[in-house]
Each structure stands twice: as structure tokens, then as C-alpha cells.
Amino acid sequence: MAFDCDLFVIGGGSGGVRAARMAAGHGATVALAEEYRMGGTCVIRGCVPKKLMVFASAFPQAFADARAYGWPVTAGALDWPAFRTRLHAELTRLEGAYRANLERSGVRIHDCRATIEDAHTLRLADGSRVRARHILIATGGRPHVPEAWADLPVMTSNDVFLMESLPGSALVVGGGFIACEMAGILRGLGVKVTQIYRGPTILRGFDDETCRHLQDELVADGLDLRLNTDIASMQPEGGGMRVRLTDGSELVADRVLMATGRRPNTEGLGLEAIGLAPGPGGEVPVDEWSQTAVPSVYAVGDVTDRVNLTPVAIREGHAFADTVFGGRPVRPEHDLVAAAVFTRPELATVGLSEEAARAREAVDIYATRFRPMHSAFAGRPGRAMMKLVVARASRRVLGCHIVADQAGEMIQLAAVALRMGATKEDFDRTVAVHPTMAEELVTMREPVRSE
């Protein structure tokens, strides 16, 4: 059977681009279709613009700290159009770099939508067909707005980066990564923010004590966070939105940002043409090699709804290429994946929560809360928190959880230690770097509880 290429990748995001480049590097002929902008969620409307906005939103606190340290700094309001222009110039630069790297690797780019016609055939939006030995689905995900509010003029995270002007006030709905990060960003940029979450503690699924600590810090810092409540009704009013909450209260906000989860992009992809039924959340079911039930079709990244993080998608894409085209079977690992929530302070985590570890075996918990030197000197009352979850029998550190400025930077190295199987005693005999916050990770002597 004649094929036009060895691999056709649908989707130019983190996972698809890595797979395409690695496969080409292994000598495969590769084509890739992207219907929007090269780089996908991470580069165009996720991690990258979000982190730049986190930086932008941190300045008011930095200015206040600077004054406390003796610098006579006065801050005006953010020039949003100026920032936005620079932001988009940076995204365009990165998009260009992604495209250039693909082209340099010899990948043929189709700037259009591709759908699956059969196990080896793609139909492109211009009507042409491509026959591929292998197909990789890397179409990512998109924000999900609950049906009841889908027809209202609400925003999702996609829209935040495109706002013409900053609203005076915003209601952020949800308690996950995106809701917490966006609430912090908007507050930092000068927007009056209310965040509502239907549960008792934000960031469900993370270590509970760590989440409660972050929650207390955010509230103490002035976040209007309303828990155990949801939207009861909502209607447009005078350019904004009047919202009644299930706790009986009411508020009016200029914008409502729904951060109520994401869904895999499988609609209209042609899965039914190859007899693939999406999973319960709309995801493409795959095995540990990222292979679907159709042997020639694989899928990586958020569309598979495994661990929905950019570096994981990159690993999955790379492992796929090594396995299928590099003659080196590699299974992407999904345990001990470190992650950071870029709130202020940040929450970063690797390994098991106390709850998950305790369900498995007896554990000793080491935890400390302290006022970091930098912010304490500036007169800020906030406390950092560090926590190690340790297996009683083996003494292995099963989980590390940090709430602190720069926690995301710290957790990367803790993740190396956990990956290597470090015990609490390995942490103990590691000499501290002084004076830092991270030194607390190696100076916790007695467990705060043993269960």
C-alpha cells in the first residue's frame, strides 16, 4: 500500500510538535496539520501568556516591598494595551520558532484542519487527501463552560489574553488550576476579583492541608473567595453580569470568567470513521504506548486526558516517536510528575498527597510553616509551608508539597530526589543552603504526626 508519509500529526501543540520533530529525526517522512496557530494551548493561550501575566501581576507587591526596603517607588496603573502588545509580539515570535523548528526538521506543515477518514487516510480542509502509515492525534483540549451558561457572554481563559481593556471587576468561577491562577493574575493587574468554588477547599485532589494553607494565605491577602457556592442564575446587566449564588447572595461583575474545566478536542475529528468511541470525558482512549485500539492511530497530550500538563504531552510525543520510529520502545511515565499552581504564593507539588499515601500505608508527616525572610522584612504577614509525606516502613519520601514564592522553582529539584527514591534520611543528611526558604526541606526533624 502506498503512503504519502510515514506519520501524519493532527495538532501543532506541545505533544504533536515534539512527536513530529522526533519522528523526522528518526528518518520518518512527517506531515502535520494545525488549524489555528502553531504552538497550541501552551504557547498561544496557556502556560506561556499565563506566566507572562503572572509576572506582570506581581509588580504591585514588588513595588510595595521595594518601598519597605527603602526604595521610594510609586506605581501607577498598568498600561494594559502596552503589555498586551508586547505579550502578543512574544507569542508571535514563539509561534515562528515552533514553525521554523518543524520546517528545519523536514516536517511538511498544512495550515488547515485535518479529519480522519479511515485508519490511514486524512482529509484536509482544502479537500485534498493524505495517506499516512501512522496517524497521531494531538488535538489537545478546550475550555468547558457548563451548558446552563454556555449561551451567555461569559469569558474563558482563552479570552483573557485577548481582552481589549481590563474590566473593573470579575467573577472567577471554579477552584482548579486555571481559576486560582486567573484570580491571582486579575487581582494583581488591578481588577476587583471574586472567586467562587462549589467545594470546601480549592484545588481538589491536591494535598488537602497544603491547599487549605494556600487558601488561607490568599484570603488573608484580600482575595474575596466564596466557598461551597455556585451560580444559581446569571443574566447580562448594563454591560456586565448580575449573578445570584446558591448561598443566596448576589453580585454584579463586569466580566464572568468560567474556569470550570477543559474537554478533549475530539468533536468532528472522524473517530467514528475508524470505530473509535471516545471515553466518558470525550477523550481518546489509549494504552500505555499511547496507541489506540486502531493499530495505526496513536494519541498524545490533553486529548487523551491522562495528566494534562505540557511537559507530559511532550514526553508522550517523544516516547511515541522513539517507540514507533526510533526502534526504542519507551513508555511515558505518569507518576511523580511535579506541578505548580502559579498563584501568589505558588503551590507546588510532587508525589502523593497525605490522603493518598495514608490510604496505601502508614506515613510520617513532616511539615513547617514560617515567615520567609524577604516578605517578613517587608512587613508582609504571609507564611510559607513545606511538607514531606514519608513512608513509615521504607522511609521513602512519597510526597513533597510547598506553598511559597518560587515554589515552582523548588519543586523541580525535589522531584529529582523523589524520582531517585530519596528517603527522609537522605533529605536530613543534605546540608542546607542558607539563608533560603528551600533549606526548610532538609531541616525538618520531628514528624508533626504519624498515622
Find how far residue 340's CA is from the centre of its chain.
8
Distance in Å, CB of 309 to ligand NDP, minimum: 5
Give CA–CA dist 355/367, Å, rounded: 15
Of the candidates 110, 120, 144, 434, the residue annotated as catalytic is: 434
| 213 belongs to the catalytic site | no
* Nearest residue to the partner ligand NDP, using Cβ: 176
Q: Is 370 within 8 Å of 383 (Cβ atoms)?
A: yes
Distance in Å, CB of 201 to ligand NDP, minimum: 9
Residue 300 interacting with ligand NDP (CB under 6 A): no
Distance in Å, CB of 272 to ligand NDP, minimum: 26
Handedness of CA 373, 375, 376, 377 (dihedral sign): positive
Segment near ligand NDP (CB under 6 A), from 192-200, 212-220, 221-229, 394-402?
A: 192-200
**Which CB sits closer to ligand NDP, 312 or 444?**
312
Residue 206 interacting with ligand NDP (CB under 6 A): no
Give CA–CA dist 179/143, Å, rounded: 12
Number of chain residues interacting with ligand NDP (CB under 6 A): 23
Tell which one of 113, 262, 387, 424 touches ligand NDP (CB under 6 A): 262
Tell which one of 96, 153, 199, 200 touches ligand NDP (CB under 6 A): 199
Distance in Å, CB of 384 to ligand NDP, minimum: 19
Q: Is 175 within 8 Å of 198 (Cβ atoms)?
A: yes
**Which CB sits closer to ligand NDP, 44 or 259?**
259
Q: Name the burial class of residue 335, with classes exposed (0-12), middle (13-18) and buried (19+) by CB atoms within 10 angstroms of its CB.
A: exposed
Residue 260 interacting with ligand NDP (CB under 6 A): yes
Residue 444 interacting with ligand NDP (CB under 6 A): no
Segment near ligand NDP (CB under 6 A), from 255-263, 276-284, 354-362, 367-375?
A: 255-263
Tell which one of 137, 178, 422, 441 touches ligand NDP (CB under 6 A): 178
Give CA–CA dist 345/141, Å, rounded: 27
Distance in Å, CB of 337 to ligand NDP, minimum: 10
Site string for ligand NDP, 311-350 (x = CB under 6 A): ----------------------------xxxx--------
Give CA–CA dist 91/277, Å, rounded: 35
Q: Name the burial class of residue 133, with classes exposed (0-12), middle (13-18) and buried (19+) by CB atoms within 10 angstroms of its CB.
A: middle
For ligand NDP, the binding residues in 362-381 under the rule CB under 6 A are: none
Distance in Å, CB of 389 to ligand NDP, minimum: 20
Residue 281 interacting with ligand NDP (CB under 6 A): no
Give CA–CA dist 450/392, Å, rounded: 8
Residue 177 interacting with ligand NDP (CB under 6 A): yes
Q: Is 112 within 8 Å of 125 (Cβ atoms)?
A: yes
Give CA–CA dist 274/296, Å, rounded: 10
Pairing state between β 169-173 and 192-196: parallel
Distance in Å, CB of 142 to ligand NDP, minimum: 10
Distance in Å, CB of 179 to ligand NDP, minimum: 6
Residue 261 interacting with ligand NDP (CB under 6 A): yes
Segment near ligand NDP (CB under 6 A), from 173-181, 218-226, 329-337, 410-418?
A: 173-181
Structural element, H or E, at residue 102: helix 80-104
Tell which one of 172, 186, 245, 259 touches ligand NDP (CB under 6 A): 259
- Give the C-alpha distances (Å, rounded to integers) separating 44 from 52, 77, 219, 261, 357: 12, 26, 31, 18, 36
Give CA–CA dist 326/22, Å, rounded: 9
Q: How many CB atoms lie within 10 A of CB 88?
A: 14
Site string for ligand NDP, 215-254 (x = CB under 6 A): ---------------x------------------------
Give CA–CA dist 206/201, Å, rounded: 10
Q: Is 385 within 8 Å of 366 (Cβ atoms)?
A: no
Residue 175 interacting with ligand NDP (CB under 6 A): yes
**What are the strands, taking DSSP E only, across 214-287?**
224-226, 231-237, 240-245, 250-253, 255-258, 262-264
Residue 176 interacting with ligand NDP (CB under 6 A): yes
> Looking at the annotation, which residues are catalytic?
434
Contacting residues toward ligand NDP, per CB under 6 A: 146, 174-179, 181, 197-199, 204, 230, 259-262, 308-309, 339-342
